[in-house]
Amino acid sequence: MSKQYEKETICIQSGWKPKNGEPRVLPIYQSTTFKYETSEQMGRLFDLEEDGFFYTRLQNPTNEYVAAKICELEGGVAAMLTSSGQAATYYAVFNICEAGDHIVLSSTVYGGTFNLLTCTMKKMGIECTVVDPDAPEEEISKAFRENTKCVFAETIANPALVVLDIEKFARLAHDHQVPLIVDNTFATPINCNPFEWGADIVTHSTTKYMDGHAMSVGGCIVDSGNFDWTKYPEKFPGLCTPDESYHGITYTEKFGKAAYITKATSQLMRDLGSIQSPQNAFLLNVGLETLPLRVERHCYNAQKVAEYLEAHEKVAWVNYPGLKSNKYYELAQKYMPKGTCGVISFGLKGGRAAASEMMDKLKLAAIVTHVADARTCVLHPASHTHRQMNDEQLVEAGVAPDLIRFSVGIENVKDIIADLDQALSQI
């Protein structure tokens, strides 16, 4: 089942395709291990000479079917699930970077990504230069060094809602002989396929819209197969030279376009072990089945809420890329013509204090550290998710201290607006 089907069909029909007499629904392979007839067969699996499952830390059939579905949705060649979005980000970068290497990072990325790449990975000897994604190409170019190994950015930044000029970033990355890695969590493959615009690798926090019901934390990495590592063997020795921990296998030679994901599975998953549980992968798959329906409704509702807020006298500013007044409206139209996401940010004329007061008055919208859920929820990043950042870093990340992140759910939009209306009337 390849390109002939539309995304709505892929979401329902791809991945697990039962044969005669098999379960209609994707089974949960709740097993740590898999049985073989001969010692020789098992040995061949360990040598990566044959495809197959032996231990769930490396691969599990439930996970594989779900990864295959996401891979098809993104138009990639290979994909893997991880235990969280953070693990996906870490593996995606660490798979091609080691101590002494360097990353170029868009300043507006998710707070957890910012922390991981600028602080935690620094302790592993990997340096990071943070760039303003809206800066001119010549300026961003200056961030690259001899030892730069990748560029990392988000399609729609959480929570700054900056829309990435993917083509510009792909050009910059490729001019400097490195891949562009894009976190596509907010847009989802329903609204944007970064590979079509030149991105090489896509990551997801499947915890968000893909799961969609706030049930399971998870992540995914998809490889487009388009970046030719063998053109720069001295830059990517991990992929282009023999791996001693696998009897001298050279991933690019043996696995071609699947080299990057195979290495991430057989080295990083083997050694670091952030596998998604099959139970969570099963839940993720249920979420994926309705992803196109939910994303459409999230975007419809968010547009209405953004328009309501923009017209409200107590609201100082609204940031939603679907608003004509928005700085990123044109870019959003280009890269995500069907819609952007269900997340809006806004500030009140009363500033930070009014934000907390208004949030406490909401009845339907719950205060939770979550986003992109079927249920409307709200968060104040400066006091919650981005608490570890100082004011300067907050501004750099596109997070104003008064910013309220409002994640519009799939309830009836009249009720969501009525809830905001009653809360705003009380401050």
Ligand X SMILES: *Cc1c(COP(=O)(O)O)cnc(C)c1O
**Residue 123: count of CB within 10 angstroms of its CB:** 7
Which residue lies nearer to ligand X by CB, 159 or 238?
A: 159
With respect to ligand X, which residue has the nearer C-beta, 315 or 408?
408
Candidates 105-113, 116-124, 361-369, 376-384 — which segment interacts with ligand X by CB under 6 A? Answer: 105-113
Stretch that binds ligand X, among 180-188, 241-249, 304-312, 418-426 (CB under 6 A): 180-188
Nearer to ligand X, 16 or 186 (CB): 186
Name the minimum Å distance from CB 102 to ligand X.
21
Structure tokens at 75: 């138009």
Min dist CB 344 to ligand X, Å, is 15
Tell me how far, at minimum, the Cβ of 73 lies from ligand X, in Å: 17
- State which residue, 101 or 154, has the beta carbon closest to ligand X: 154
| Euclidean distance between CA atoms 90 and 258, whole angstroms | 19
Query: Quick check: 183 binds ligand X (CB under 6 A)?
Result: yes
How far apart (Å, rounded) are the C-alpha atoms in residues 274 and 219? 10
Name the amino acid, one letter, at 169: F
Q: Does 84 bind ligand X (CB under 6 A)?
A: yes
What's the rounded Cα separation, in Å, for the pair 14 and 67?
10
Distance CA 304, CA 421 (A): 13
How would DSSP label each residue in 181-242? Answer: EEE-TTTHHHH--GGGGT--EEEEETTTTTT-SS----EEEEE-S-S-GGGSTTT-HHHHS-
Number of residues assigned to the chain: 427
112 binds ligand X, rule: CB under 6 A? yes
Fill in the per-residue mask, 373 to 412: x = in contact with ligand X (CB under 6 A), - = not in contact: ----------------------------------------
The β-bridge relationship of strands 315-319 and 219-223 is unpaired
Could you tell me the maximum CA-CA distance found in the chain, to the nearest angstrom? 74
Q: In the complex, what is the shortest distance from the CB of residue 280 to ligand X, in angstroms, rounded to a whole number?
A: 11
Using CB under 6 A as the criterion, which residues of the chain lie in contact with ligand X when the complex forms? Answer: 84-86, 110, 112-113, 154, 158, 183, 185-186, 205, 207-208, 217, 219
